[in-house]
Structure 1
């Protein structure tokens, strides 16, 4: 039973800066004056916009760079350019029917589009996914077997009443169900400690991507452009102009950055949004390898004992942090084939990181072998006794999970009319991503619907400090714990 409190507001007044501190960055004013002589704003200039000589030189440098890719830039050079930008300040009024561009179609971006739709605002969502939207809400189905794998997000828990309301609606539609399969800690050598059944765990009935695919099915104000990789955002004539490798993708009243990592940093480094770029650069991300493996028979255990779990957090193994039987989780099948998802530790991902767009075959072979050896050790099997999978696929999530957070639902620059949403702003799980998308959508709606309010009052999160983020290598699941851990906590509590 869900107990919902729909009267809660996502942003407390303490998150908003009534009188924001002056920006340390020079300001570039963008209005809708079509007679302006300057047709191309300068984004690289480190001096103020009233320095004509410097501005002209910088414009020449900008034009000379045109056509050259920045994908070879080092992290340090990206950082330098990000902090050398002029701050864009829009002075033109909003459109009568404003449109928001959302760059990134993960769960946070999708939720943001959904809640903007619910507030009567139009949006266009841009996503680079070839197979579908959803980002880390990914499910891979291999025909004709069929084989099915959740290859990123594995399950989620519910704590916040706003998220509970959504999950309740998903359950009524048959999209989500409670996962009753046993999960727990698996220690190196095969020692398994089950978690208590509370708090409940939830999974998507037909794989995680089915939630993402369904989110926008009932909206009428959301346009989806996929696959589309937005490579540039430019402020001009009171609007944001987006493009993909020089191809125009439309103009918008505001933009939302709903992805992270090096691609987001490259996009922001010449955007005219130095405060947002600064916050994005503070984010630290781990890399995780996902190994999808299908076996003809159930995985063996020492002594031919019955397999005790459907999912396990692996402890004491360098290469593996999580393993789950998708066949039992998603199909409730006792027969084969048996589809397993193995996720690496963050340390193993860091040790074996390569460009995820082009993984060398030697790396694929080495990482696959290393992770299967880790599974063997975790289960307490003798060397070489783990059966060889008849199907395997390796994927690197290069910007998988955050390791630090500002602990604020969203970031918004009202002068540049741009915001950020994502799980990393609050934590590292599906609930955090959803709450962030809701927060930013509501904040943008209030911003558009309060034209007489001082813009600075809508500044959120532009100066929040980051804190270390703790949890499992595959995310945070508040309240989960083994019986042994709970008993230890109770003994400690009574002793004190």
Structure 2
């Protein structure tokens, strides 16, 4: 998903390495240099630590610009600035020296933002993460728990796969600490009418042990500076730093900024920031809309079998306009089975989401009722049940992911404007997955650390992704999963490889 993740990685940029996590992955990683090569992310090789200045204050706060002192200096501690007219706003170019102990503001606490912060810490660069989540971190890594019944739903990212050794190393650590585990449940394709076909020889699939959001919250707990919920509403360059505010409240001054979210809010934030090149690239991103329906049933759904195999736990639905995915959270997470409930997550197709899109903050009742009926009707059709025979759920909740998944990509691991000391990371830069989100966060962190290490003397050498063209993305409506293709998709990929 749609909803870093609903979601997944770009097959034409990161070729699957057929890595087997646990126990085989550690030996594979230890000899990664002799294995298959993978594209190098910007600044990700041979990391160098940043030398800290012990005399520099650790406070994130900086003086907020005022109408009086703003007239004296626009940008740069030297009171010199370069303003270049570009597109619809002025391009800010900092001329102040890079400090010895810089601090970076990361706006967005999804997979990309959290991994970016972790990677900066490893390079000796301080950061602060600001996230809007009311219930927790994670962005698309959403899990909803309904009490007192104890109902659990992954209502965004459903699972993830691994194809890159850098992401595999992260996942190995999560396995060791019990944050994730392999999902052995049967998944496949479900054709309208109840015709189920398991996916052939799928790679290992991983899920959060208690859902996706607890994984994100655990990542956030390892970071020294996180602020949630916080909706950064303004970015203002002043005196050589970026000053952030939340509806007039000062949130501190920073030496660089990272935008780790997208959609209307990110576009609004960048519209008058002084970063026209970054703003232009963000505006070129196209996002799908997908409806998520959470439903809990008293009795098991009549799942069609396949050659004596156990009932499927997840299925990519084909031939049903209102449905693209269905998953049994109770079986997957093994938390709701004991109380006899059966919790399912259903996702619409992106085409259906587009036709029925409304403001997600204020969904009209008539639209909500129509979508519920259409999606439950889609479940009935997909399972091949007689009309009107699907049992009524005792709990149901509808959510619209208005900015669900990227539909195009610049195929670059990160975007960085060295003159404005600002960057972007996110799954959409490489594809649409938790893996691509993590790789993007790593790439930008190392790129920024290298930029700081250089002292910023030759900024143009660190510009990346500011002019890349976008290309359409392909994959499932709920994202890309490296190595998880049907037989037909595998044949198509082989045909393309033979031609090229």
TM-score by length of 2: 0.82
Deviation of 1:365 after TM superposition, in Å, equals 1.1
**Alignment of structure 1 residues 91-106 onto 2, 5 Å:** 91-106=95-110
2:267 pairs with 1:254: no
**Alignment of structure 1 residues 31-46 onto 2, 5 Å:** 38=71
**Alignment of structure 1 residues 77-476 onto 2, 5 Å:** 83-219=87-223, 222-301=224-303, 308-331=311-334, 336-451=340-455, 453-476=457-480
Q: For each residue in 1:108-139, what CA deviation from the matched residue of structure 2 results, as whole angstroms up to 9, or x when unmatched?
A: 00110111111111111111111111011011
Determine the C-alpha separation between the residues in 2 that align with 1:302 and 1:464. 46
8 Å CA contact 2:303–2:311 kept in 1: the answer is no
Determine the C-alpha separation between the residues in 2 that align with 1:387 and 1:352. 25
Determine the C-alpha separation between the residues in 2 that align with 1:485 and 1:283. 26
Q: For each residue in 1:318-337, what CA deviation from the matched residue of structure 2 results, as whole angstroms up to 9, or x when unmatched?
A: 01100000000001765620
Determine the C-alpha separation between the residues in 1 that align with 2:495 and 2:98. 60
Deviation of 1:196 after TM superposition, in Å, equals 2.3
8 Å CA contact 1:426–1:436 kept in 2: the answer is yes
Determine the C-alpha separation between the residues in 1 that align with 2:309 and 2:278. 52
Which residue among 4, 7, 11 is the counterpart of 2:41?
11
Determine the C-alpha separation between the residues in 1 that align with 2:82 and 2:248. 26
Q: 1:484 to 1:454 in 2, by over 3 A?
A: closer
Residue number in structure 1 paired with 2:47: none
Give the match's secondary structure for 1:400: coil
Q: How many corresponding residue pairs?
A: 441
The runs of 5 or more residues in structure 2 that have no matched partner are 1-23, 44-64, 76-80
Q: 1:377 to 1:152 in 2, by over 3 A?
A: same
8 Å CA contact 1:184–1:481 kept in 2: the answer is no
Determine the C-alpha separation between the residues in 2 that align with 1:286 and 1:156. 19
8 Å CA contact 2:161–2:482 kept in 1: the answer is yes
Q: Higher RCO, 1 or 2 (CA under 8 Å, sep at least 6)?
A: 2
Deviation of 1:174 after TM superposition, in Å, equals 1.0
Q: 1:164 to 1:492 in 2, by over 3 A?
A: closer
Deviation of 1:308 after TM superposition, in Å, equals 2.6
Deviation of 1:218 after TM superposition, in Å, equals 3.1
**Alignment of structure 1 residues 17-32 onto 2, 5 Å:** none
Deviation of 1:245 after TM superposition, in Å, equals 1.2
Deviation of 1:95 after TM superposition, in Å, equals 2.7
Give the match's secondary structure for 1:124: strand
Give the match's secondary structure for 1:211: helix
Determine the C-alpha separation between the residues in 1 that align with 2:496 and 2:267. 45
Give the match's secondary structure for 1:93: coil
Deviation of 1:10 after TM superposition, in Å, equals 3.8
C-alpha RMSD of matched pairs (Å): 3.0
Q: 1:450 to 1:215 in 2, by over 3 A?
A: same
Q: 1:455 to 1:385 in 2, by over 3 A?
A: same
Deviation of 1:453 after TM superposition, in Å, equals 3.9
Deviation of 1:286 after TM superposition, in Å, equals 0.2
The runs of 5 or more residues in structure 1 that have no matched partner are 14-31, 43-47, 56-81
Deviates most, 125-134 or 95-104: 95-104
Determine the C-alpha separation between the residues in 2 that align with 1:471 and 1:130. 30
Deviates most, 406-415 or 363-372: 363-372
8 Å CA contact 2:336–2:343 kept in 1: the answer is no
Q: 1:238 to 1:486 in 2, by over 3 A?
A: closer
Deviation of 1:489 after TM superposition, in Å, equals 8.1
Determine the C-alpha separation between the residues in 2 that align with 1:240 and 1:485. 46
8 Å CA contact 2:432–2:480 kept in 1: the answer is yes
